[in-house]
Chains A and B, each alone.
Chain A
Amino acid sequence: MSKEIPIWRVKYYPKNLAQVCGREEVKETLMHIIQQGNFPHLLFIGAQGIGKTMIAQLFSKEFLGKDYNANFKLVYADVPLNDEERKQARAEAYISTSKIGSVAGRTIATPAFIQVKIKPFVQLKVLGDVPFKILIVKNFEALGSNQQGFRRLMEIYGTNCRMILITTKISSIIDPIISRCQIILFSPVKLDDFKDLILNIANKESLSISDDCIEILYQISEGKISRAIDILQLSSISDNTITTEILYEISQKFHNDLIRSLIMVALKGDFPKTRELARNILSNYKYSVQELYKLLLIDLNKLPLSKITRINLINLIADSDFRSLDGRDIDIQISALLSKICLFSEYL
């Protein structure tokens, strides 16, 4: 490439499996599969943001070789369908009265997600000189009850298309799916491998960073390499020597702290301000309600609060989460929760 890529996480994105940092066991298994030229459906399990999708993609790329583009698809299970796709699903779900049989003139309830995103890909024939296609479904657990629809798909189209299902929670995956897959477990990058990677980058970018700092970086990025590289790049702007202070300062800027400050503002009891902040967070980061509740819960557990306060707050969040299952307006539900926290703060 003639031009320098200005974003490090893109610049140091591994080009093939061998370049991926750490995770030797997983890499070995996958390399073996590539040599064999055949594999069952795979289920990747591991914490969020540690590179499952990246490895799955690099693996598919190496497995499919030059026919990669035609035979590969990556689907995000947690991205809801847009209006057009919904419309399409509705139109396809109807069986015309001109057909014969008991289903004629009826609507069959194929889950819209499978109808629109999965079926068209798995049904099509393999193109080029590869044994089968590869479909990656990311955040598989987000499918919920739609997982049932996958059971038959995996069997019927299994010869045509292998699937790699990626998830963070094995507990929310139904047993029939697990039994159809080979499970590959991902652990976060080990500190030693992480150190090598960061030192390598520091070397190329002529930065100086101490071992202590790398350890801190490892902690604040929670094992997410892309996050760590982001922080490193931001820190490098002010000075070529990375210090602990800079690292902490930069990591403050990332959004998890926004959620924390939301709780803090709410606990001060100023509702209008809290609501304003919550709206900003929601419109900037486009969290779904459930995600926001999850983040609130995670951050709540990190805050230095008394046991009773914490339990009370968890109670409020759980209540609100439950209610918004049926509710239609996110803003109202969140406001209700925040107003309760504001009131609660008066009794502290």
Chain B
Amino acid sequence: MSKRKPDIPWVEKYRPKSIKEMALPTARIGRQRVKIDEELTKFVNQFFEERNKINKENREIREFNRTAIEKDQKEEKQIPSEKTAVLLEGPPGIGKTSIVYALANDLNMEVIETNASDTRTRDALERKLKETTKSRGIMDFITESKEKLILIDEIDGIYGVQDRGAIPTVLDLIQNTQFPIIMCANEYKTNLQPLYNKIKRYEVHPLPKNEVTKITKNILKKENITSLKNEDLELIIDKNNGDLRGVINDIQGIGQGKIDDDVKELILSLHRDNLEVIFTLIRDLFKVSSLREARYLVDKSDVDYNFLYKWVNENLLTFIKSNRELTEAFENLSLADEIFGRIRTTQYWGLLPYFFDLFAGAVALSRTETPLSKGFQRVVFPRYTSGTYFSLTSIEKEFIEKIKNKYQISEIDFVQDFLPFLKTLCGTSRKQLKNISDWLELDTKEKKLLK
């Protein structure tokens, strides 16, 4: 019998307790490579030094102000903002949060965390953070208090009406804090620009693949899982693309479930329950008999609507057959799309109800002739996701670079004019294909483009 408690997520179970046992991601500041653990330790230590110095000076200033006349009074000093806060930027699951907790553990500090799951309006943030930053509890004087570290996780998640006023509060906090602040973010956001100007930004890069493999194998060993084949493990690691958390979650899913030969299938099924929600939603949607029902379905589900209307687009044909209905349905869908586009450009979200009703209810209700089939309706993934902008795959890009060495041509002309010609030419005989690929020095992947 194994003693492990199955209900602890492995991510938490194996969260590093100390920086020493961590696989440290590489970090950069600007273009310069830095060691993130040293930088952060230095930052925290420097902060406390600075704070004690400034607090002492402020005390003297206050002392002086008490007796001095008003016009001679001095202002209290503040710690410069680049010494009070840092920002860690990087893709999810590479250990940004872990490193902060490990650091706090090493330095014997307490972490006060706020993340995107908290509402972060001005009031809420102030309540949570300012109290802890400005004052100290009565108990702190009696027991020996721990120093605190403020972690503002997922700061790029500060967005929209719910978090109104959060950014000025954070800026304010940086000015007045009594504890060091570390922020984490996934991506660059324009509305955070005022923040970027004030603080140091570290770019954190994903862990290299061999590190991820090492850690994962270690965990597998500790959990006594031997049935996972190396190549399957590699598949999981590749799929997660440097996201260690994702890898650990996946192997937990496999390790604790029944272990099948077909692990690949299992990996897929890990993400299936989310899809299942969409599948049933789509099926139910086309059964509705009133707008209100459709609206209820869409509201109830938490599927991202950005995404949902593309599902409707893809699966419409399964449920609606005649041209008359199709025209009706697409008319509504395209109008919904247009409205959505306008919402995005004007940011007038008041139009959103129309969007919902049009893409869900109105489309579903276009089905007037086609009978509802009794059998199982297969719902498919949106295959065709079109970007708004012209984009090339990486292979196409390499290909075009090679052509450009020999022949000046624009990317658009290449795709629309030159590539079709090359394809037909290469289609005529194997010799032609060889000639051309030799001339352009193509590798096998690029050759496939010509077929």
Interface residues of chain A, those whose CB is within 8 Å of chain B, are 3, 5-7, 9-10, 13, 57, 74, 76, 78-82, 87, 90, 94, 96-98, 105, 138, 226-227, 230, 233-234, 237, 253-255, 269, 271-272, 275, 279, 282-288, 320, 323-324, 326-333, 335-336, 339-340, 342-343, 346
The smallest beta-carbon distance between A53 and chain B, in angstroms, is: 8
Q: 6 closest pairs, A vs B, by CB? A: A336-B334, A336-B330, A6-B435, A326-B341, A330-B386, A343-B327
For the complex with contacts A326-B338, A332-B309, A336-B331, 20 further pairs of A-B residues with Cβ separation under 8 Å are A7-B407, A81-B389, A87-B188, A94-B193, A97-B197, A105-B194, A234-B425, A254-B421, A271-B323, A287-B416, A320-B334, A326-B341, A326-B345, A327-B338, A329-B309, A329-B337, A331-B313, A333-B337, A335-B313, A346-B323
Pair B317/A272 contact, Cβ less than 8 Å: yes
Pair B330/A79 contact, Cβ less than 8 Å: no
Partner of B424, one of A9, A138, A227, A253: A253
The reply to whether the CB of B412 lies closer than 8 angstroms to some CB of chain A is yes
Pair B420/A328 contact, Cβ less than 8 Å: no
The reply to whether the CB of B391 lies closer than 8 angstroms to some CB of chain A is yes
Pair A279/B384 contact, Cβ less than 8 Å: yes
How far does the alpha carbon of A335 sit from the alpha carbon of B333 in the complex, in Å?
A: 10
Pair A328/B344 contact, Cβ less than 8 Å: yes
Residues of A within 8 A of B411 (CB): 76, 79
Given contacts A94-B193, A254-B420, contact A333 B334 (CB under 8 A): yes
Residues of A within 8 A of B410 (CB): 76, 79, 138
Partner of A332, one of B337, B388, B391, B407: B337
How far does the alpha carbon of A190 sit from the alpha carbon of B339 in the complex, in Å?
A: 49
Given contacts A326-B342, A336-B334, contact A6 B386 (CB under 8 A): no
How far does the alpha carbon of A320 sit from the alpha carbon of B197 in the complex, in Å?
A: 44
Pair B190/A323 contact, Cβ less than 8 Å: no
A271 closest partner in B (C-beta): B326
Pair A78/B436 contact, Cβ less than 8 Å: no
Partner of A286, one of B331, B337, B345, B390: B390
User: What sequence of 0s and 1s flags, for each residue 416-450 of chain B, a beta carbon within 8 Å of any chain A beta carbon?
Assistant: 11001110110011001001100100000000000
The smallest beta-carbon distance between A181 and chain B, in angstroms, is: 22
The smallest beta-carbon distance between A289 and chain B, in angstroms, is: 9
How far does the alpha carbon of A105 sit from the alpha carbon of B197 in the complex, in Å?
A: 10
Residues of B within 8 A of A255 (CB): 416, 420
Residues of A within 8 A of B424 (CB): 234, 253
The reply to whether the CB of B135 lies closer than 8 angstroms to some CB of chain A is no
Count the B residues whose beta carbon is within 8 Å of the partner chain — how many?
54
Residues of A within 8 A of B392 (CB): 286
The reply to whether the CB of B17 lies closer than 8 angstroms to some CB of chain A is no
Residues of B within 8 A of A57 (CB): 408
Which residue among A287, A326, A333, A346 has the maximum number of chain B CB atoms within 10 Å of its CB?
A326
Residues of B within 8 A of A285 (CB): 415-416, 420
Given contacts A13-B407, A288-B390, contact A339 B326 (CB under 8 A): yes
B314 closest partner in A (C-beta): A331
Contact residues, B370-402 vs A (CB, 8 A): 384, 386, 388-392
Pair A80/B330 contact, Cβ less than 8 Å: no
Residues of B within 8 A of A332 (CB): 309, 313, 330, 333-334, 337
Pair B323/A269 contact, Cβ less than 8 Å: yes
Q: Can you give 5 A-B contacts (C-beta < 8 A)?
A: A6-B432, A13-B407, A105-B194, A329-B386, A335-B333
B335 closest partner in A (C-beta): A323
Given contacts A138-B410, A237-B429, contact A282 B386 (CB under 8 A): yes
Residues of B within 8 A of A343 (CB): 323-324, 326-327
How far does the alpha carbon of A255 sit from the alpha carbon of B333 in the complex, in Å?
A: 29
How far does the alpha carbon of A5 sit from the alpha carbon of B391 in the complex, in Å?
A: 29
The reply to whether the CB of B283 lies closer than 8 angstroms to some CB of chain A is no
The smallest beta-carbon distance between B383 and chain A, in angstroms, is: 8
Residues of A within 8 A of B408 (CB): 57, 74
Interface residues of chain B, those whose CB is within 8 Å of chain A, are 188, 190, 193-194, 197, 309-310, 313, 317, 323-324, 326-327, 329-331, 333-335, 337-342, 344-345, 384, 386, 388-392, 406-408, 410-412, 415-417, 420-422, 424-425, 428-429, 432, 435-436, 439
Partner of B327, one of A87, A98, A253, A340: A340
Residues of B within 8 A of A327 (CB): 334, 337-338, 340-341
Pair B330/A335 contact, Cβ less than 8 Å: yes
B437 closest partner in A (C-beta): A6
B332 closest partner in A (C-beta): A336
The smallest beta-carbon distance between B220 and chain A, in angstroms, is: 37
Residues of B within 8 A of A94 (CB): 193
Which residue among A13, A335, A342 has the maximum number of chain B CB atoms within 10 Å of its CB?
A335
Residues of B within 8 A of A81 (CB): 389
Pair A342/B334 contact, Cβ less than 8 Å: no
Partner of A233, one of B313, B388, B425: B425
Residues of B within 8 A of A333 (CB): 334, 337
Pair B415/A286 contact, Cβ less than 8 Å: yes
Pair A6/B390 contact, Cβ less than 8 Å: no
Pair A79/B323 contact, Cβ less than 8 Å: no
The smallest beta-carbon distance between A346 and chain B, in angstroms, is: 6
Pair B341/A328 contact, Cβ less than 8 Å: yes
Residues of B within 8 A of A340 (CB): 327, 330-331
Residues of B within 8 A of A253 (CB): 420, 424
The smallest beta-carbon distance between A126 and chain B, in angstroms, is: 22
Residues of B within 8 A of A138 (CB): 410
How far does the alpha carbon of A74 sit from the alpha carbon of B345 in the complex, in Å?
A: 31
How far does the alpha carbon of A311 sit from the alpha carbon of B406 in the complex, in Å?
A: 45
How far does the alpha carbon of A24 sit from the alpha carbon of B95 in the complex, in Å?
A: 67
Pair A339/B420 contact, Cβ less than 8 Å: no
How far does the alpha carbon of A346 sit from the alpha carbon of B386 in the complex, in Å?
A: 29
Residues of A within 8 A of B428 (CB): 234, 237
How far does the alpha carbon of A78 sit from the alpha carbon of B327 in the complex, in Å?
A: 32
How far does the alpha carbon of A336 sit from the alpha carbon of B415 in the complex, in Å?
A: 26
The smallest beta-carbon distance between B404 and chain A, in angstroms, is: 11
Residues of A within 8 A of B420 (CB): 253-255, 284-285
B424 closest partner in A (C-beta): A253
The smallest beta-carbon distance between A261 and chain B, in angstroms, is: 14
Residues of B within 8 A of A79 (CB): 390, 410-412
Given contacts A288-B390, A327-B341, contact A342 B416 (CB under 8 A): no
Residues of B within 8 A of A320 (CB): 334
Residues of B within 8 A of A98 (CB): 197
How far does the alpha carbon of A80 sit from the alpha carbon of B392 in the complex, in Å?
A: 12
B190 closest partner in A (C-beta): A90
Pair A237/B432 contact, Cβ less than 8 Å: yes
Pair A339/B327 contact, Cβ less than 8 Å: yes
The smallest beta-carbon distance between A93 and chain B, in angstroms, is: 10
